[in-house]
Amino acid sequence: MFNNGLQNKKIMKILIIGGAGFIGSVLVKKMLEDNAEIIVIDKLSLGSVDYIDTTKVEFHQIDINNIEQVLEVLQNMQIDEVWHLAANSDIPAGVEDMNVDLDDTFMSTVSTLKIMREIGCRRLYFASSSAVYGFNENRLHEDIGPLLPISNYGAMKLSSEALISASLESFLDKVCIYRFPNVVGVPATHGVILDFIKKLKKDMSTLEVLGNGTQQKTYLHVSELVEAMLFINNNTDNGMNYYNIGAMDDGVFVKQIAEETTKVISPDAKINYQKTDRGWVGDVPRFYYSVDKLKDLGWSPKMSSLEAVQKAVSEIASQEEV
């Protein structure tokens, strides 16, 4: 188990796959505060080595699906736990080409498990997604079913969960599966806020929004997501542990995000919406997360969805030098 702040315990040697990306780099920084020894493997499709302190982290730019190369790096290392955060983050691209999510979202999990078995590591922490639930207007608690994803990304995340569950029966000791909501903050590499800001930088007079603005989702700031992940790790036992992580509310509308972004970037910009309630094929227009299980474990976020969005708009505007 990751030692969050207890200096007298063994220093953990932790492999983070996708550790130079948006969420991974924030996780790395938090773990470094607790003196963990961290190895990051990232192919840098969206991430950047600039997001992590390479004087304190051992970094290797490798595709996790290159198993032989990864094993060469890890030889003679005793890895205590693996955090698998690597995946395709462009859902429309995955819909257009099935191989995108097959390779980057599912096969990355297959490769991770093969590597873990080879090196004898028995603890896995996996970044899953609300996309596994598909479009379901009921309150989404962890044990709802059937799970019917509507994007290839969601399908491959669900397939990954199933494979990890099977691996728990054969060689893993502990698994934590984190079902993420929409996550915002910096370093932003993708997402609706970054998309809006980039559009406004090109044309300060108009913001074109995919969909009619009524899409409603819960948003969580990346700092609180990482806090929740580590809390779950520290407060669960061996076996299967799976949790929704999200805000305590029903989320915000895309219309609100567009308004919050234009307010900061270009207050006089006109916002144009489309007629459909989906931004793209595979987009879930709304979902309502239950986070009661996580609350019962003892963790709740401090920010609402709207507060997380407002904080992220300010941070990403600064990142993009607007």
Could you report the per-residue pLDDT of 298-311, keeping only the tens digit for each? 999 999 999 999 99
At 8, the pLDDT band (50, 70, 90 cuts) reads: low
Q: What would the pLDDT profile of 203-260 be if each residue is shown by its tens digit?
A: 999 999 988 999 999 999 999 999 999 999 999 999 999 999 999 999 999 999 999 9
Same CATH fold assignment for domains 13-183+220-244 and 185-217+249-288+303-319: no
Q: What would the pLDDT profile of 222-238 be if each residue is shown by its tens digit?
A: 999 999 999 999 999 99
What are the extents of the domains in the chain?
A: 13-183+220-244, 185-217+249-288+303-319
CATH homologous superfamily for the domain 13-183+220-244: NAD(P)-binding Rossmann-like Domain (3.40.50.720)
Letter string b/e over residues 253-284, b meaning 16 or more CB atoms within 10 A of that residue's CB: bbbbbbebbbebbbeebeeebeeeebbeebbb
Rounded Cα distance, 322 and 314, in Å: 10
Mean pLDDT of 83-112: 92
For residue 256 the two structure tokens come to 């609100």
Mean pLDDT of 166-171: 97
Cis, bond preceding 187 (omega within 30 deg of 0): yes
pLDDT > 90? residue 169:
yes
User: The whole model's pTM is what?
Assistant: 0.93
pLDDT > 60? residue 1:
no
| Helix (H) / strand (E) containing 13 | strand 13-17
pLDDT at residue number 279: 66
Domain 185-217+249-288+303-319 architecture: Alpha-Beta Complex (3.90)
Q: Which of the two residues, 283 and 28, has the higher pLDDT score?
A: 28
Mean pLDDT of 120-124: 98
Q: Which residues pair with 127 in a beta bridge?
A: 178
pLDDT at residue number 6: 42
pLDDT at residue number 271: 96
pLDDT at residue number 191: 92
pLDDT at residue number 66: 98
Rounded Cα distance, 121 and 13, in Å: 11
5-9, 183-187, 288-292: least confident range: 5-9
Mean pLDDT of 78-86: 97
At 115, the pLDDT band (50, 70, 90 cuts) reads: very high
Alpha-carbon radius of gyration of the chain: 19
State how far the alpha carbon of 37 is from the alpha carbons of 33, 57, 117, 309, in Å.
Answer: 11, 7, 21, 32
Q: What 3-state DSSP class applies to 55?
A: coil
Number of residues assigned to the chain: 322
pLDDT > 80? residue 163:
yes
Q: What 3-state DSSP class applies to 294?
A: helix
